[in-house]
Amino acid sequence: MDLLLTRTEEDMLARAVELARNEVAPKAQNWEEERRQPIEALRAASLAGLAGLEVPEHLGGFGGRFRLKARIAEEIARDCFAFSFSLINHMGLAGKIARDAPTEIAEKYLPEMLAGEAIGCTALTEPDAGSDFAAITTLAKKVDGGWVINGEKAWITNAANANLMFLYAQTDPAAGWRGVAGFLIDAREDGVSRVPPFEIMGGHAIGTGGFKLEDHFVPDIRMMSVPGDGFKAAMNSVNAARTYVATMCCGMTEAAIDLAASYASERAAFGGHIADFQGLRWRLADAQTEVEAARLLAYRAVLAVENGTNAELPAAHAKKYAARMADEQLSHCMQVMGAAGLRREYPLGRQIACARIANYVDGTTEIQNERIARALFSKNKKKK
């Protein structure tokens, strides 16, 4: 299975690969050591047109399909999983504003997002609420002309520098998930403060952090998902996110396999090269097969998201398998390279840390299992 692209989409993918090779690969290790999010690289990617990937042409974007987003995420993750994840979240908010916001809101905020002058994020998770979306406690109270929001968000991608966020808040605690709505928040306005960025092993380029909202007023026009629809929007967004995380795991792991194979082909030992040993060759062959299997699951999920069919199970299978695959096969790649794999000039240590991150973001591996098991047992009940 492959995700066929149009000629125009292929050109955009090539542009993303070029940016990754020039702006990401040579600098990713420095970003991690400096413990910072590279806002300048996000701006460069935005100016290269990537922020507008899902924004229609009449609003200044590219108007690309979801498959192109997934492929770009995969290719950039070869050089830096963390930066890829950050960029994808930024472009995701731009696409959402283009789809769901009133024209005057889109025209106000999209130009600065497409130029990288305003960075976007999605604020769902809270200090005490993660995968249980219905349990969020950030409260939006209706007032004349808008809503007053109080609460705290945590573990938010791009929060270290984001100016705009799509925030999920509860409008009616008694209504449970049916009370959850979505709002466009401008973090530069009164009543929004930034929590210091989290120190995340291997993932500082993600810019993870949080926000506190204290009596923050949002006008009615910036409610982008009405109560009830907010929860549904969150679920659809998470399924898409799980899907591109799976493609990112494939890209990151395949890059490590290529590195290990190249190293083994040059490393002399016992009158030959270590690539001559069958055990080592087969270990990398097994790793490549695992990537191919994970990619099939990931691309199946991509097509489900793109076609608007129920992507919950395809996304859960893809993310679960790809994250576990990356966890295991990246360590095998480092083992092939021996102690050399620990050296700074090789990205394997950072990649291994990012494989751990992949097992947590957008629902842990255990949450994927719960989604899969729920569907499995529900199906068996219906047969009785």
Predicted confidence (pLDDT) at residue 67 exceeds the cutoff of 70: yes
Query: Tokens 């400096």 — which residue?
Result: 34
Strands 139-143 and 146-156: antiparallel
Residue at token pair 């790649």: 333
Mean pLDDT throughout 203-222?
97
pTM (two decimals) = 0.94
Look at the alpha carbons of 244, 249, 252, 258 in this order and tell me if their dihedral is positive or negative.
negative
- In this prediction, residues 73-85 reach a mean pLDDT of 98
Mean of all residue pLDDT scores within the chain: 94
pLDDT by residue (tens digit) across 361-381?
A: 998 999 999 999 999 888 777
pLDDT above 80 (res 1): no
Locate the domains of the chain by residue range. Answer: 7-118, 122-227, 238-378
Helix (H) / strand (E) element for 250: namely helix 229-266
d(CA 321, CA 368): 10
CATH number of 7-118: 1.10.540.10
Domain 238-378 - what CATH class?
A: mainly alpha
Amino acid present at 383: K
Question: What is residue 383's predicted lDDT score, i.e. its pLDDT?
Answer: 65
Distance, CA of 265 to CA of 150 (rounded, Å): 58
- For residue 147, the surrounding DSSP H or E stretch is strand 146-156
The tens digit of pLDDT for each residue in 132-167 reads 777 889 999 999 999 999 999 999 999 999 999 999
Give the Cβ contact number of residue 173 at 10 Å: 10
The structure tokens 């963390």 sit at 82
From 58, 56, 84, 82, select the one nearest 70 (Cα to Cα).
84
326 alpha carbon, distance to own chain's centre: 16
How would you classify the pairing of strands 192-195 and 146-156? unpaired
pLDDT value at residue 285: 96
Does the pLDDT at position 269 exceed 80? no
Compute the distance between CA of residue 118 and CA of residue 186 in angstroms, rounded to an integer: 10
Answer yes or no: are the C-beta atoms of 13 and 71 closer than 8 Å.
yes
**What is the spatial distance between Cα 141 and Cα 171, in angstroms, rounded to a whole number?**
6
CA-to-CA dists, residue 178 to 103, 226, 239, 285, angstroms: 26, 9, 19, 49
Q: Which CATH number fits domain 122-227: 3.40.50.1820, 3.20.20.140, 2.40.30.30, 2.40.110.10?
A: 2.40.110.10
Q: What is the mean pLDDT of residues 279-298?
A: 96
Which pLDDT tens digit goes with each residue over 311-368?
Answer: 999 999 999 999 999 999 999 999 999 999 999 999 999 999 999 999 999 989 999 9
Measured distance between the N- and C-terminal CA atoms of the chain, rounded to whole angstroms: 36
User: 129 vs 56, 103, 155, 313, 316, CA distance in Å?
Assistant: 34, 33, 10, 22, 20
Residue 283 in this model has a pLDDT that exceeds 90: yes
What are the helix and strand counts (H, E) for the chain?
11, 10
**Is-contact 319 363, C-beta < 8 A?**
yes
